[in-house]
Structure 1
Amino acid sequence: MGTALINMAGVAGESELMEAIETFVKFASLVVALVALYFAVRILPSIGKDVRRRSWLFLSLAAIAFGLSMAISVLTDVALPQLGEIYEVMEFLFVIFMAIGFYYLYTTEHRETIKLKHQSTTDDLTSLFTHGFFQTYLVNKVSNLRSDGNELTVLFADIDDFKQYNDKFGHQEGDYVLQKVAQVITQEARGEDLASRYGGEEFTLILGCDFETASAVAERLRTMIAERCSILADPQIKRDVTVSIGIASYGHDATEADKLVKIADSRMYMAKSRGKNQVYTGELLPDPIGDSAANSKVEPQTGAELGTA
């Protein structure tokens, strides 16, 4: 009998303890809700279009709804059972606000990821693809060509006398020329072509065509740049701008990505040595000018950083 009474007392004590803990948690939740309300009020004036702040606002509202639901639960248990329906509403709002908050949070992180990816593959000044992306894309493309048998040609273009232009008219004007040439390249590139800024005043195009077709594309591009980047066509340009271009085709010249770039670059230097403002598609010298330049991997620069011809 005595043992039974002790056991009953123990059970009653545990029950009271659990009720006390539950009540404490509910009141603590109300405190969290009040703190969340404070942060929500602070966040509201500065939300604007900031999705990250918007996500924290809804998460704060979710915390408020949760805290109020806990408080209402206490009141319902103590003295106001009619608040039961409001409790259910608060729980519903908690779920909704949590869902919206996490949605905005995910959206923010997703946009940040896309932005970082874009920055790693796109040149800031010209909006063309970067040297690194060009190299990766070309290697993959050449690897696929060995199995699918499609055509591929690398076009390598360099702005003539760009260093002198920079030195004479200033680096801001040089940057404008880089952007203008990139704009023409983008406009003239076909849908399947990949245009990139290789480095400094050098640009590349990966064309899905054979040597003869690529030669015609290169000549058209050279002509369009000479026309649209002239003093008559654009008053902001201080001196007529031209480019020298070299090309190299898969199969016709080489079957490896690095050799295609090297040959196209060497032909571009041959075009410069023969008078500039032309496309060179002929034979190469045994030790062509620019051979070392073709092997170097120059990171894109702004006009203010350039020092090459």
Structure 2
Amino acid sequence: MAETTTAPSPPRRRRGPRSPARPGPAHNRLSLWQRLRRDRVMLLLTLPGLLYFLVFHYLPLLGYVVAFQDYQPYLGYLHSAWVGFANFAEAFAQPAFWSATGNTLEIALIQLVFFFPVPIALALLLNSIAGDRVRRFVQSVVYLPHFIGWVIIVSIFQQVLGGAGLLPDLLDKVGLPRYDMMADPHAFPWLLTLELVWKDAGWGTIIILAALLAIDRQLYESSAIDGAGPWRRLWHVTLPGISPVIVLLLILNLGNILSVGFEQILLQRDAVGPGAGEVLDTYVYYHGIRDNDWGTAAAVGLVKAVVGTALVLGANRFAHRLGHEGVYRGADR
């Protein structure tokens, strides 16, 4: 009898543990209470900042009701007479308002063109320094003036550029006429920009340096292997890497274009006269608060807020068209 053989059956494949099914979009949606419970630690960390903005920025917005009233402090908000847009019409009819607006725009544009690029250039320069100790030392020195008050800074510039300062004395010794830059109305916007660069340029480099550190080092290595020199790496790697931060800072600066530094200008306004030294902030102080014209002061402040908001929204929308996120993401992004 023939012996029958059976072919061995193939070994069974061992199956690992079954991976759980991926939840669909409906399973990923958490309720508001679940999200608050999940992010409660982060929300508690942001609570002090939220309270700061609520108390010092959002609640004071209710005071803009004064812009539509003939406000009297002893009557208060509830009993002061309503005048509609009369305060706006009064402010727009004053030549001093338009002179202050022109001075504000001139100073803001000069600072935007000549101050805004300085922190970027300074950050690029510091980033190119090889030694960490030298970089940290230079960075500490250049942003130290940020912690000095405007009173001291104006005094320092007065001692250097004022009528009895070092520069006029030096010009006198070499046979040139003395020049008092602190009292020259034509040089006043440039003087403000120079003071702002000296005080805050180093502080602004911190944000740009943080953006530079976020750029992947492998991009520089690969571009160097491909033969790109320092300038091409700067143009094709560094600047695109920090462009979102630059756009964000530019949008925020446009929102504050009508606020060019109240304390700095107030300290130097009398030296050049109201014709050159009056800006919207000092106009509100002198014509509104000092002269008790509260309605006009609030109307001018409301105009500043509306224009600043419109500039931020418009610049942010334009940034979206260029492919940047800007301050916030639009509904279509």
Same structural fold, with TM-score higher than 0.5 when normalized by the shorter chain: no
Bigger radius of gyration among the two: 1
Larger helix proportion, structure 1 or 2?
Answer: 2
- Structure having greater relative contact order (Cα 8 Å, sep ≥ 6): 2
Larger strand proportion, structure 1 or 2?
Answer: 1
TM-score by length of 1: 0.22
